[in-house]
Chains A and B, each alone.
Chain A
Amino acid sequence: MKELVDALFRNVPTGVGAHRRDLRLSAPELRKILMEGARAAVSSGRGEAADLDHIEEGGTIPGADPDLVSERAVERGRPQLGTLGSGNHFLEVDRVDEIFHEEAARAFGLAMGQVAFVIHTGSRGLGYQVCDDFLQGMLRAAAKYGIDLPDRQLCCAPIRSEEGKRYLAAMAAAANFAFANRQVIAHYLRETLAKDLGIPPREHRVSTVYDVCHNIAKMESHEVDGRQRRLCVHRKGATRAFPPGHPQTPSAYRAVGQPVLIPGDMGRYSYVLAGTAKAYRETWGSSCHGAGRRLSRAEAKRTSRGRPIVRELEDRGIIVRSAGMATLLEEVPEAYKDVSEVVEVVERAGISRKVARLVPMGVIKG
């Protein structure tokens, strides 16, 4: 495990300015990524075509306009493809330690004792910069459309306005960058298994169970008061949880529902759930996306300062590698709610059902 975690830590760039020397995106390559997302990563040889079926929207959000991504966003994001970042972003090596729903687990390709990897990262600096750039325009738009703002960070424009449409097209481009980013990291992961550990693809057989966003707005049709309506559904800190039988639930999972991934903290568990018909009705096909913090970052740091976090976790059988100590202090297990309790609530509310529980064996943090 130590060998694997160290190799992953070497091969998947984490922390400030870290990037792979062998990945330099040309302007046309980046443009293709902004348009096509994970599909562009696959066609450049960094990804598996078979994974595309198991990514939300097939790994490409339609309607992306790369021309709306500023030069600054490009400059900030271009070297960051295939990088993890810091904060709560991570790459985890887990073991399936409990199965709750045999049929769904089988469909997802999960079995007791099996190794699973969880990748949590997004559009990186490119996405942050797109947000920054559009905030300025949205401040003007809010004034123009007479929208009274309780807090400037909530500045906005009507979805159908020119400003609204432009933002959605830029956001789609950033989301596509995120799909490509995770696909490239999955590629580095496979490469690590093959090259550093000598396990060829026919033996490791790593394939994507599911890749899903947890901060994105999308146009979808849902029933509201007995009437089908076209809605812009913004899932922020939430994730899509489509039911069995939905055309957008991948065909391999059509009978059991879309996989819902709920990571916990680095010391306890992560869960795989499945979307339900009830979620589709009551939450427009949405579920929660993580355990959620219990302590603020400042509080977590204050209470854990000086603690040998790496050794503590190692004593519990979890190998942790991080680019910086500060992140580890902020991310100590106690900083988060117990994900098992959170998942219990989700299941009792009926908005997803438990399929499998994963325990961490190795964690890479930015």
Chain B
Amino acid sequence: MTIPEYELIDHTGDVGIIVRAGSLAALYEKAAAAMFDIILDLETVRPERPYEVGVEALDREDLMVRWLSELLFLYEARRVALSRFDVREVSDSRLAAKAWGEPFDPGRHIARTELKAVTYHEMLVSEDRSGPGGMEGAGWTARIIFDV
């Protein structure tokens, strides 16, 4: 498992991240991986089983909240540790994906931070014409604040 690249934002009391990617699908995948990197040690998770995830939303930002909330629910309620994400279809209001992981095993998985929720606070999903980090080509940026 490669650890996803993301930036932690200093936010008193909460935890925030900034994620950049070349496509919208990759942006949602990276955001999910970054969230799980905060939650647990990704290297301890084997992406053995696929979990189908589908969400609908009002727009891209809402889609990010619902997608990540769905994954957080899988982890918190169904006790599934996830580490790989394949977004197969994404539009401004729908997302279909396969998330890969395995049932949480307290003997093997190392939990880090418990997240209460994915918030709408300062949520941003935007297209960056100049590309991520000033690189050539279009890119996408997301900012997400988690309630801890």
> Which residues from chain A sit less than 8 Å from chain B, CB to CB?
15-18, 72, 75-76, 85-87, 125, 128-129, 131-132, 135, 139, 151-153, 155, 293, 295-299, 323-324, 326-327, 330, 366
Contacts and interface: CB of A to CB of B under 8 A. Distances in A.
25 contacts: A15-B106, A15-B114, A16-B114, A18-B106, A75-B77, A75-B78, A86-B113, A87-B116, A128-B116, A128-B117, A129-B73, A139-B62, A139-B120, A151-B120, A152-B123, A153-B120, A155-B120, A293-B12, A296-B11, A296-B12, A297-B11, A297-B14, A297-B148, A326-B113, A330-B113
Given A76-B77, A151-B122, A324 B110 contact: yes
B79 interface: yes
A359 to B, nearest CB: 25
Nearest to A15: B111
B45 to A, nearest CB: 13
B123 to A, nearest CB: 7
Contacts of A72: 73, 77
A327 B122 CA distance: 24
Contacts of A86: 111, 113-114
B106 A298 contact: no
Give the interface centre of B11, B120, B147 by most chain A CB atoms within 10 Å. Answer: B120
Given A87-B114, A139-B58, A153-B121, A76 B10 contact: no
Given A129-B73, A297-B15, A323-B111, A152 B10 contact: no
Nearest to B75: A16
B73 A16 contact: no
A17 B40 CA distance: 13
A298 B9 contact: yes
Contacts of B123: 152-153
Secondary structure type dominating chain A contacts: helix
Contact of A298 (B10, B40, B114): B10
Contacts of B76: 76, 125, 128
A366 B106 contact: no
Nearest to A16: B111
A153 B119 contact: yes
Nearest to A323: B111
Interface in B57-75: 58, 61-62, 69, 73
Contacts of A18: 106
B133 interface: no
A85 B114 contact: yes
Contact of B112 (A76, A85, A298, A326): A326
A129 B79 CA distance: 15
B104 interface: yes
A326 to B, nearest CB: 4
B53 interface: no
B134 interface: no
A155 B113 CA distance: 26
A72 to B, nearest CB: 6
Nearest to B110: A324
A91 to B, nearest CB: 15
A153 B119 CA distance: 6
Nearest to A133: B69
B61 A152 contact: yes
B137 interface: no
B118 to A, nearest CB: 8
Interface string B130-143: 00000000000000
B8 interface: yes
Given A72-B73, A76-B73, A327 B13 contact: no
